[in-house]
Amino acid sequence: MKKLIFLPALFISGLICAQIPEDVLRYSFFPQNGTARNQAIGGAMGSLGGDISAIYVNPAGLGNYKTGEIVFTPGYFMHHNKVDYRESKTKNSQNGFGIGPIGLVYGMQTNATTSHAVSFAVTQTANYNNIIKYNGLNNLSSYSEQWAEQLAKSGLSLDEALNTAAFAYGTAPALYTYLVDTFRVNGAVQVRGLPENILDAAQALRQVNEVETSGAQYEIALGYAMNKNDKFQWGVTLGIPIMDYHSITTFQESDTASNASNGFGSFTYTDDYTTNGAGLNLKLGVIVKPTERVRLGLAVHTPTYMVSLKDKRATNLLANTENYEGQREASSLLFTNDQPGESKYSMATPWKALISASYVLRSIEDVKKQKGFITADIEYVGHQGSNFYSDNEAPTQEEKNYYNALNDVIKDQYKGSFNFRLGGELKFNTIMGRLGFAYYSDPYREEELNASRTLISGGIGYRHKGFFIDLTYVHSINKDVHFPYRLEDRANTYASLNDQAGNIIASVGFKF
Q: Confirm if 468 and 35 have CB atoms less than 8 A apart.
A: no
pLDDT interval class at 286 (50, 70, 90):
very high
The H helix count followed by the E strand count for the chain is 8, 23
The DSSP call for residue 30 is S
The span from the CA of 487 to the CA of 150, in Å, is: 10
Question: What percent of the chain is predicted at pLDDT more than 70?
Answer: 94
Please give the residue that has the higher pLDDT: either 339 or 1.
339
Residue 408's Cβ-count burial label (10 Å; 0-12, 13-18, 19+) is exposed
Please give the Cα distance from 349 to 309 (Å, whole number).
Answer: 13
Length of the chain as a residue count:
512
Per-residue confidence (pLDDT) for residue 122, from 0 to 100 = 97
156 has a pLDDT exceeding 50: yes
Question: In the predicted model, is pLDDT for residue 12 greater than 70?
Answer: no
In angstroms, what CA-CA distances link 382 with 354, 379, 414?
12, 10, 9
What average pLDDT does the segment 320-343 reach?
91
pLDDT tens digits, 365-423:
544 555 899 999 999 999 998 998 888 777 777 778 888 888 888 899 899 999 999 99
Average pLDDT, the chain: 90
- pLDDT (mean) for 71-97: 91
- Of 406, 391, 398, nearest in space to 309 by CA: 391
Q: Is 80 exceeded by the pLDDT of residue 424?
A: yes
Q: Is 338 exposed, middle or buried (0-12, 13-18, 19+ CB in 10 A)?
A: exposed
User: pLDDT category, 453, cuts 50, 70, 90?
Assistant: very high
Say if residue 9's pLDDT is above 50.
Answer: no
Return the bridge partners of 255, or none: 205
HEC profile for 71-129?
A: EECEEEEEEEEEEEECCEEEEEEEEEEEECCEEEEEEEECCCCEEEEEEEEEEEEEECC
Q: What is the rounded CA–CA span in Å between residue 121 and residue 219?
A: 8
Return contacts of 427-431, CB within 8 angstroms, 24+ apart: 427/370, 427/371, 427/372, 428/367, 428/368, 428/370, 429/368, 429/369, 430/462, 430/463, 430/464, 431/460, 431/461, 431/462
Q: Which CATH number fits domain 23-135+212-251+270-314+340-511: 3.30.1520.10, 2.60.40.1180, 3.30.379.10, 2.40.160.60?
A: 2.40.160.60
255 versus 29: the higher-pLDDT residue is 255
Domain residue limits, the chain:
23-135+212-251+270-314+340-511
Most confident residue range from 76-85, 214-223, 403-412, 488-497: 214-223
Any idea which of 69-73, 278-282, 422-426, 429-433 has the lowest mean pLDDT? 429-433
For the stretch 137-152, pLDDT in tens is: 999 999 999 999 999 9
Confidence of residue 23 (pLDDT cuts 50, 70, 90): confident
DSSP 293: S
What pLDDT was estimated at residue 368? Answer: 53
pLDDT at 79 exceeding the cut of 80 = yes
Pairs from 390-399 (Cβ < 8 Å, separation ≥ 24): 390/345, 390/346, 391/307, 391/308, 391/309, 391/344, 391/345, 391/346, 392/344, 398/14, 398/15, 398/166, 399/15
Q: At 444, phi and psi to the nearest 5?
A: -90, 145
**Which of 251-265, 392-406, 428-442 has the lowest average pLDDT?**
392-406
Nearest to 421 by CA among 351, 357, 360: 357
Q: Give the pLDDT band of residue 128 (cuts 50, 70, 90).
A: very high
Hey, what amino acid is at 286?
A: V
Q: Give dist(CA 50, CA 356) in Å, integer.
A: 15
What is the C-alpha to C-alpha distance for residues 31 and 503, in angstroms, rounded to an integer?
12
Q: Does pLDDT of 267 surpass 90?
A: yes
pLDDT the model gives residue 10: 30
Average pLDDT over residues 35-57: 95
